[in-house]
Structure 1
Amino acid sequence: VRLPTVVATIWTGALGIVTLFYLDQFDTALRSTWFWFFAYSVYPVAGVYFILRLRKRPTSGERTLLPPVHRVLLGVLGAFALAVSLLLLFLPGIMVDVWPWKLNLMLAQIYGGPLLGLAVIALLMTMADRDECFISAVGIAMFPVLALAASLMHLNLFKPQELSSVIWFASLGLASLAGAFVLTSVASRKENSRKG
């Protein structure tokens, strides 16, 4: 669970920091607002605690990395998601103009958190032990598939014929295929290790 813990910490931490810049847009009369404040304050702190605890655990010393083709796919996915997430977080005005559907500054920066999490998990998997990648591989495979499904359900929100819409759907399609490819490999390795 080390890798998913890192991602959850980054994801929730980014959302917590973004929230601080938009406090005036939250209705404090709503319970959901207080849950939002609580979740995105406590989850990152708890995540840092667990990450520090997991670092102190002894390892066997034997590591088997994912095959090179998988690491390249994850590296490309991670680099692309990292670039987009940093643009969303630090240059949201530019991203609002080019995003495939209508977006405001706060939402642009909020989207940056999950994409930063996706970037980090993909890049960490390029260096992680193969046996430790199963949960992360499921996440890498499901993230773009679910985003693609949600996008298809809301096609009316997209700017038709826009390059940004084409890039959005192409990126999700390619990321879904890459994620499925990596997951299949990791799952088959896990199954083989159970039999062996």
Structure 2
Amino acid sequence: MPTSNNPPFPAALRLFSAAVIIVLIIGAGLFFAPVLVKPRWPWAVTPFNARFLGGFYTAEMVVMAALLFWNRWSPGRLVLVMAFIFTVIVSLASFINLGYFNFERKAPWLWFLVYLGSVAVSGWFLWRARGRPSAKGVALTPALRSYMPVEWAVLGVYGVGLLLFPLLFSSIWPWPIDVFHAQVYSAIFLAGAGGVYLVWRSAPREELLVLGLAQVLVGLFAILGLVITDAAVHRIDWRAARTLCWLALFGWIGISGVFKLVAASRYFKARRAETDPGDTL
């Protein structure tokens, strides 16, 4: 049941979420059906970039589905903040690198329409709710509360590095990354940093769960996409230091998500125990 502490979102936001999910299904096709989607993508993508982008869009699709499913301020607040950060930075990177787009095709125009529209809608809803406090949070364990500032700081610093010094900070990636893709990928880390910071400040159960799920999927699909793509093209040096660093980075992101899922599951179990104490004599 909706409460004043965690009210439902308006129907317009659910409609927006459903539309975004439809768009993300196309993006997820870069992972699951790259041969079909790559020729229709707004710019030319290499096999590794295609699978990486597709994996991230798959994770984002699941997160947006959570917003559509719960339709509450929590986890909607988390999803909207992360979506706003991501779309703003990707839009900025796209404008900086207009040379990658062939505007004689429809796809680039649709790309900018979708991203600028997402910036406007998510920003508008966040602005309208700017005075609303977060839903009631749970008490994080001391270890998790101490760990999360380190987590969002690392994600934030690396994201800023990819945005401002793309060639330097992308040098640990197993495949060559150009300036445009490095700046687009910076949005993933900065959105993640924003999400971790938000949950660290106040940790509603639903937001802890959704953030953990997002991190697990990002880490999983990034590594899985690399393995699948290299099985076909054989371009990755798996013993190279940069490959090991990249695997460690995304493995760490995924494991961080597992910690949050475990913590969230404990809180949900505790709540169920409170509401359903079982038979009494």
Query: TM-score normalised to the size of structure 2?
Result: 0.63
Separation of aligned partners in 2, 1:58 and 1:108: 34
Partner of residue 143, structure 2? 69
Q: CA deviation at 1:137?
A: 2.4
One-letter code of the match for 1:28? F
CA contact (8 A) 2:211 2:257 kept: no
CA contact (8 A) 2:152 2:197 kept: yes
CA contact (8 A) 2:172 2:243 kept: no
Q: CA deviation at 1:157?
A: 3.9
CA distance 1:93–1:63, change in 2 (3 Å)? closer
Separation of aligned partners in 1, 2:189 and 2:134: 30
Moved over 4 A (4+): none
Q: Please list the CA deviations of residues 77-110 of structure 1 after superposition, one character each: whole Å capped at 9, or x if unmatched.
A: 3222212111110001313444321111111111
Q: CA deviation at 1:169?
A: 0.9
One-letter code of the match for 2:251? G
CA contact (8 A) 1:88 1:112 kept: yes
Q: Please list the CA deviations of residues 153-187 of structure 1 after superposition, one character each: whole Å capped at 9, or x if unmatched.
A: 23334344321111111222232222112112112
- The answer on 1:53 being equivalent to 2:131 is no
Q: CA deviation at 1:14?
A: 0.3
Partner of residue 180, structure 2? 106
CA distance 1:16–1:59, change in 2 (3 Å)? closer
CA distance 1:89–1:59, change in 2 (3 Å)? closer
Q: CA deviation at 1:59?
A: 6.0
CA distance 1:69–1:141, change in 2 (3 Å)? farther
Determine which of 84, 104, 110 is the counterpart of 1:9: 84
- The answer on 1:158 being equivalent to 2:236 is yes
CA distance 1:96–1:114, change in 2 (3 Å)? closer
The secondary structure found in structure 2 opposite 1:129 is coil
Separation of aligned partners in 2, 1:150 and 1:53: 38
Determine which of 258, 276, 279 is the counterpart of 1:180: 258
Query: TM-score normalised to the size of structure 1?
Result: 0.88
- The answer on 1:37 being equivalent to 2:37 is no
The secondary structure found in structure 2 opposite 1:111 is helix
Q: Please list the CA deviations of residues 1-41 of structure 1 after superposition, one character each: whole Å capped at 9, or x if unmatched.
A: 10111000000110001111111220112222112111121
Which fold has the larger relative contact order, with Cα–Cα distance below 8 Å and residues 6 or more apart in sequence?
Answer: 1
Flag structure 1 segments of 5+ consecutive residues without an equivalent: none
CA contact (8 A) 1:6 1:51 kept: yes
The secondary structure found in structure 2 opposite 1:64 is coil
Separation of aligned partners in 2, 1:100 and 1:59: 39
Q: CA deviation at 1:65?
A: 3.4
CA-atom RMSD in angstroms: 2.1
Separation of aligned partners in 2, 1:98 and 1:135: 28
What is the number of residues matched between the two proteins?
195
Q: Please list the CA deviations of residues 141-163 of structure 1 after superposition, one character each: whole Å capped at 9, or x if unmatched.
A: 22212212212223334344321
